[in-house]
């Protein structure tokens, strides 16, 4: 069990800064977020390495670098209401919750959603709402969102998510592709959408359909 994580967390943020992360607000939150609390205790000793780690059910806790990159896209766009597709361990959710007004997070695996909700309660995160559901469908009743973050790779861009972006400069960051995955930033202005590619990535696939 990691009891005093600040020192190793600080070293992690120094690594991220060296890799080009320049959003000091995001770096500060990553340094203050107990990543070890979002993974099995058997892996806690690796919590502050810059790597993705398994959390069960074929899922992973994202690499801190990728959490920083994707979060920075939304914070630099000024997003205040964010939809997250793929709660997973809840780590990315917790980082977002410290930086935006409200996070709505959708998870399709009930066991992971249950564990994440317990962690949010333990960490006193009161601005997170979670739902068990198909991430491809988003959370229409809470739309529009200033920002959407998708933490699994979609074979194609989910149409429902595009329509749930705020028409006033809503921003989505999403990995897209199967053999080759690219991290895309999609910006909405009225009925127009612009797309830009950030980098090649590797995420678990975004499954479409029933929950489990």
Catalytic residue among 42, 62, 105, 166, which? Answer: 62
Instruction: Dig out the tokens for 79 from the structure.
Output: 């997003």
What are the two backbone dihedrals, phi and then psi, of residue 50, each rounded to the nearest 5 degrees? -85, 70
Q: Is 89 a catalytic residue?
A: no
H or E, element range at 165: none
Instruction: Dig out the tokens for 1 from the structure.
Output: 């069990």
Rg, Å, the chain Cα set: 16
Neighbours of 100 (CB within 10 A): 19
Rounded to the nearest angstrom, the gap between the alpha carbon of residue 52 and the centroid of all alpha carbons in its chain is: 13
Match 């897209």 to its residue by tokens: 176
Bridge partners of residue 56, in order along the sequence: 59
Instruction: Dig out the tokens for 20 from the structure.
Output: 């080009």
Beginning with the edge strand found earlier in the chain, give each strand of the sheet holding 168-176 in spatial order.
128-132, 102-107, 81-85, 147-150, 168-176, 181-189, 192-201
What residues are labeled active site?
Answer: 62
């Amino acid at each position: 069990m990691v009891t005093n994580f600040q020192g190793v967390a600080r070293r992690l943020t120094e690594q991220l800064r060296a890799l080009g992360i320049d959003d000091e607000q995001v770096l500060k939150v990553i340094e203050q977020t107990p990543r070890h609390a979002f993974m099995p205790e058997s892996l806690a000793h690796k919590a502050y390495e810059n790597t993705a780690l398994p959390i069960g059910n074929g899922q992973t806790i994202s690499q801190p670098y990728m959490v920083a990159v994707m979060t920075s896209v939304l914070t630099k766009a000024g997003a205040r209401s964010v939809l997250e597709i793929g709660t997973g361990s809840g780590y990315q959710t917790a980082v977002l919750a410290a930086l935006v007004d409200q996070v709505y997070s959708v998870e399709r695996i009930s066991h992971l959603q249950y564990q994440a909700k317990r962690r949010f309660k333990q960490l006193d995160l009161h601005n997170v709402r979670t739902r068990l559901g198909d991430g491809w469908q988003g959370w229409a009743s809470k739309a529009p969102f200033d920002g959407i973050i998708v933490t699994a790779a979609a074979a194609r861009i989910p149409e429902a998510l595009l329509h749930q972006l705020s028409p006033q400069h809503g921003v989505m960051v999403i990995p897209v592709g199967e053999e080759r995955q690219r991290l895309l930033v999609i910006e909405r202005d009225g009925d127009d959408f612009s797309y830009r590619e950030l980098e090649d990535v590797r995420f678990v696939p975004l499954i479409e359909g029933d929950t489990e």
